[in-house]
Structure 1
């Protein structure tokens, strides 16, 4: 089964467009540097609250990604816009993403 990372965070409403603009570089960095990265979906749930759902091949791939943190510029730029981490969870996907 695939692993799903669910992260809820806050970003100032004034930085929403910057967050959207930073997303493609973050995804490219994940694709280049994160073994087992499959896909991600960014969801705005309120003016300042977001949910990022990331699909990983395995729990080990997710753990290895977490250990790397913001090690590349695209990832750093995206993370820098986050004002507050609300929650972070890991789960198993019963229905796998294609990829």
Structure 2
């Protein structure tokens, strides 16, 4: 998976075939980013929102996992449950073009 940063656009490519384009909106506090990824699959269709929590380690961002709750149509991580960064599904690092 790659994350191309073309300010403010983010393009996520999964294994060279699936493409989600959108933007990440959130707050960085220390070494943690918490926010939402607003995206359209394959660059079109309905805009979707997914909560994100990332932890910065050695110039890489680790995508955390947590329990997602939906309140009034807005997905977010439950504040009563910890976010786990020990086995991230995705690790983001700078890609030189």
Question: TM-score normalised to the size of structure 2?
Answer: 0.28
User: Higher helix share goes to which structure?
Assistant: 1
Higher relative contact order (CA 8 A, sep 6+): 1
Structure 1 length-normalised TM: 0.28
